[in-house]
Structures are given as structure tokens and as C-alpha cells.
Structure 1
Amino acid sequence: MDTEAKHTERDRSSAPEAGSEEGARSSRIPDRFAAMSWRRAAALGGVCAVFLLLFSNYVVQPFLIPSGSMESTLRIGDRVLVNKLAYRFGSVPHRGDVVVFDGTGSFVQETPEENPVVALVHGVAASLGLAEPAGTDFVKRVVGVGGDRVVCCDKRGRVEVNGRPVDEEYLHLGDAPSAAPFDIVVPDGKLWMMGDHRSNSRDSRDHLGEPGGGMVPVDRVIGRVDWIGWPLGRLGSLARTAAFDGIREPGGTHG
């Protein structure tokens, strides 16, 4: 008896015929699973995007350095991480902090008009560090806080804060502290900002004759630059400067 032939016939007869209801049902199952997988992937992607945007808006925001005004501390193309919690709970910017701020009303007198859709897309990309920041966002170093008298320059060409010279070791190699002299008192609630590459930085000095006098309101500070996240060769925290240690506070006490 040819049992092999009978088994073969039984196997063929038990398989769903092409075009049968059972065959169609089994072919739809993978399609259904594929559709569910795509929906889950899309939902997961949406949740991740919302999380990243919220995290960027309220905790840490990537920021693409667009110019050389802070060299050599920060270089063009660096992606830094801005700590938005640094000044959220009663703390205020200190001399020597490198901060990102909105320069509207101080560095920028008129906000440029943009297409709303383009502005939204660019804002999202900038908040993730994928595009240059808005034209009103700047990164500089705090040199004077409210009540400080900031003068340039002393006999050795140094900036003075409250009568004490500051040895600014972070300045770009070969730069003088300032080519233009100034003598200002920072109003309360304001900040005097300068770039580390003084010969290549438009900062508070360049806006002295404008409304606001180049002083940045504390409440316009977006956050403090605490880390460099890219490129990998520069990955790490931003070194704190000791240049302002020992500066007298406006009331006469040491800072």
C-alpha cells in the first residue's frame, strides 16, 4: 500500500484552497498586525516628540551656536545644553555665567516679521538644536549684575567691576577686553553681557546709545549653558570661571 501517496493527498486536501474563505482570512491577519504595528509606532513617535518638546521647553534645551562671538569657549556649530532650571527657584544669574537670553528690547529693538508656519517649524527645530536659534536669541557671558559699576579699561587694559580688575582668562587669544571704553552702572534687575571673542562680538557695548542701553532684563534669560553636547570631542560640562571671585558687591561686601 502506498501510504506516502495517501498522506500527500490528505495534506493537500487539508490545506485551504486558494480563494477560499479560510485562506482569505489567514492572509488578512498579517495585514491587520502590520496596520496595528504602524499605528503603535506612530503613537510612540508622537509621545516621544511631545516629551522632547516639553523637556526642551522646561528643563534642558539644546542650542546651536551660530557665530564665533563666544570663541574659544564656544565654537561655531557647537550644540550646547541650556539648563532652564538654573534660575527657576529664586536663583539669579551670577557674574561669569554663560547664558542664553532673549534680546528683544535690549539687543534687538524690533522683532523681525516671519511667516507663522515657517516660524513654528523653525522654532520646533531650534528647540531641539537642529536649526539656528531665533534671531532674537543670544549667548553671552554675564559681566555685570544689578548695581555693579563696570568700567573699561584700567591702566593695564582690564575690565573693572566695582573697582576691582578682572583677569578674564576665557578671552579669545589675542583679544583685548574692549577696544571701546565704557563706564556704566547696571540697573537693578538687569545684566551687562559681553562675548568672549570681544573683537567679534556685538554685545552690550554696541547698544549703549539705544533704548535699554544694552542692559538685558534678568527675566529675559532663558537659561544657563552648563554642558557641551556636540561634537563628541568637546563633550562635557562648561568650566566655571574664577575671574569674578572676590568682587565686592555694590553694598561693599565681597561676592
Structure 2
Amino acid sequence: MDTPGDGEAEEPGKKPRSFWKELPLLIGIALVLALLIKTFLVQAFSIPSDSMQNTLQQGDRVLVDKLTPWFGSEPERGEVVVFNDPDGWLAGEPTPQPNPVQRVLSWIGLMPSAEEKDLIKRVVGVAGDTVECNGTGPLKVNGKALDESYVYPGNTPCTVDDQGGQFKVTVPEGKIWVMGDHRQNSLDSRYHQSDKNEGFVPVDNVVGRAIVIAWPPTRWATLPVPDTFDQDLSAAAPGALGLAGAVPLVFWRRRRLLTAAGGRVSGSGTAG
């Protein structure tokens, strides 16, 4: 029979590693996770100008959804999107020089990168849409007026006192037409119609949709699609228009032929 004194001495438990030895590993894991989140899920961007007032103010930090584009989702009307400079839209704009800490934070997505040339605007037209401005507005998409309550107070939806403010464009496949909410202070698609994309932004340049204002805390808010975009703004396909126009013509022609044929049969029968 074993006695308590007969058994082997119990091995003492392993000494836990020092916190300071674990810290580099924890930091490394956090950096990898942050980098993955920035690359595939969400990235923070800073608002550098007043072109989206009052929806966005200069200095706001927004979180941009980068996940849904990976599954084939494309920008929709009314969304606020961040996109890479299509063709020198930011030419001449000063580039800030970040310090080493800011560089690290931008690399992991906690701060916007100073080297990336990104803009933020609202999508007004998608492929196939006809967007137009006449006079001071309203802005129309496929002939239907938008009720743009988000436009900066005192601004008109369309402008008449500058080049580019009056236009009528049809958005080609793979492109979008964007405009700032501060219409009289936004160099958007209207003012780049002479570039290689004719003012349109390639969908491939879109980083993602801005979904929430995350900073400062007093400005926290989501960025939903305005109600005016809930109306049916679909562009009628040319084929559908042709079919709609052809149907009455076919019925009219058929009725005429039947009437004429009926008269000949009746007359022939009577004469015989």
C-alpha cells in the first residue's frame, strides 16, 4: 500500500512567462489583425476638405466598408464612397508629411495614408443612368428629379455661374458619376469632363462605401442612402423602349389588314 511519502515528488508547475516577454508577440498579433482588417474589412479615412458638408465636416474620420466589394458588390446611387484619384483630380493639392508614428498607424489602417490619393463623394449615377443639370436644378437622374435635402444649406443642386455646372451625361458601363454635397465647393465629376474618363470614376477605383462617422465622438452617425434614391430611378433599356413603341404599331397594322381583308371577302361573296 502506497503511503503519501512513498510517491514521487510532484513536478512544480511551469513558471509563467513574463508579461514583457509576451508583449512583442501580442503586439505582433494585433498588428497582423489590424492589417487584415484594413485590407479586407474596414479602413479609416480622414475628411480633408469641405466638399461634403454638411454630411461630412473637415477633420471627421469615417469608416469605409471594404468587404462587400470583394463579393462583387458595386457602388449604388446615393452612397458616399471613397475612391482613388481617377486622373489627377488632386493635382496641386499639398501632401502632408507624416511622422514615423503616423506612418505606422496609417500602415495598419488606424490613420489614412498620406501617400494615397483618395477622394470622397456621393454616387449620383451608375452605369446606364442619364444625369443632368439645367439652371439651378433640381438634379435629375433618368429624367426624375432628386429631392436633395443633404445639399449644403444655401447651395443650389445645380450651378449656373461656372463651367461644368450645366451638363447632361450618360454613365458608361463600369463607371459612376459622383458629386459633393457642398455643390458650390466641390471639384467633382462635373469639373473633370475633359480628363481621360470624361469625369466618370471607374468602379475599379472605388475603395469602398463610407458607412459611419467614427470620430470625433460628438459627430458619430451612420451614413445611410437618402430617401430620394428610393424612388424608381431605373433607366429604361433601349430595347424595352423600342418594344413598347412597336406594340401599338403592330396592333394598328394588324387591325388594318384584317379590316381590309374582311371587306374583300364580303364583296367577293356578294359578287359571286
Q: In which range does the TM-score fall when normalised by the shorter chain? A: 0.7 to 0.9
Taking the TM superposition and a 5 Å limit, the aligned residue runs for 1:125-140 are 125=106, 128-131=109-112, 133-134=114-115, 136-140=117-121
Q: Distance in 1 between matches of 2:186 and 2:114?
A: 17
Q: Distance in 2 between matches of 1:171 and 1:86?
A: 27
Change (3 A) 1:220 1:123: farther
Residue 83 of structure 2 is aligned to residue 101 of structure 1: yes
> For 1:77, what is the secondary structure of its paired residue?
coil
Q: How many residues align?
A: 219
**TM-score, normalised via structure 2 length:** 0.71
Check whether the contact 2:64–2:211 (CA below 8 A) recurs between aligned residues. Answer: yes
Check whether the contact 1:63–1:126 (CA below 8 A) recurs between aligned residues. Answer: no
Taking the TM superposition and a 5 Å limit, the aligned residue runs for 1:2-151 are 36-105=18-87, 107=89, 122=103, 125=106, 128-131=109-112, 133-134=114-115, 136-151=117-132
Percent identity, please: 40
> For 1:87, what is the secondary structure of its paired residue?
helix
Change (3 A) 1:187 1:175: same
| Structure 2: stretches of 5+ with no match in the other structure | 1-14, 160-164, 241-272
Q: Distance in 1 between matches of 2:147 and 2:113?
A: 32
Cα deviation digits, residues 56-99 of structure 1 (max 9, x gap): 11101111111111111111111111011232212211110100
**Shift in Å, 1:43:** 1.6
Match of 1:240 among 225, 231, 235: 225
> For 1:193, what is the secondary structure of its paired residue?
strand
Change (3 A) 1:224 1:181: same
**Shift in Å, 1:147:** 1.1
Change (3 A) 1:207 1:126: farther
Q: Distance in 1 between matches of 2:127 and 2:32?
A: 37
> For 1:88, what is the secondary structure of its paired residue?
helix
Q: Distance in 2 between matches of 1:227 and 1:109?
A: 28
Residue 193 of structure 2 is aligned to residue 193 of structure 1: no
Match of 2:205 among 200, 205, 220: 220
Check whether the contact 1:64–1:129 (CA below 8 A) recurs between aligned residues. Answer: no
**TM-score, normalised via structure 1 length:** 0.75
Check whether the contact 1:194–1:203 (CA below 8 A) recurs between aligned residues. Answer: yes
Change (3 A) 1:127 1:106: farther
Change (3 A) 1:148 1:176: same
Check whether the contact 2:138–2:147 (CA below 8 A) recurs between aligned residues. Answer: yes
Match of 1:160 among 140, 162, 171: 140
**Shift in Å, 1:250:** 4.1
Q: Distance in 2 between matches of 1:163 and 1:251?
A: 14
Q: Distance in 1 between matches of 2:25 and 2:85?
A: 37
Change (3 A) 1:127 1:51: closer
> For 2:70, what is the secondary structure of its paired residue?
coil
| Structure 1: stretches of 5+ with no match in the other structure | 1-31
Q: Distance in 2 between matches of 1:189 and 1:131?
A: 26
> For 2:33, what is the secondary structure of its paired residue?
helix
RMSD (CA atoms): 3.1
**Shift in Å, 1:230:** 1.1
Q: Distance in 2 between matches of 1:83 and 1:63?
A: 11
Change (3 A) 1:127 1:182: farther
**Shift in Å, 1:48:** 0.5
**Shift in Å, 1:243:** 1.6
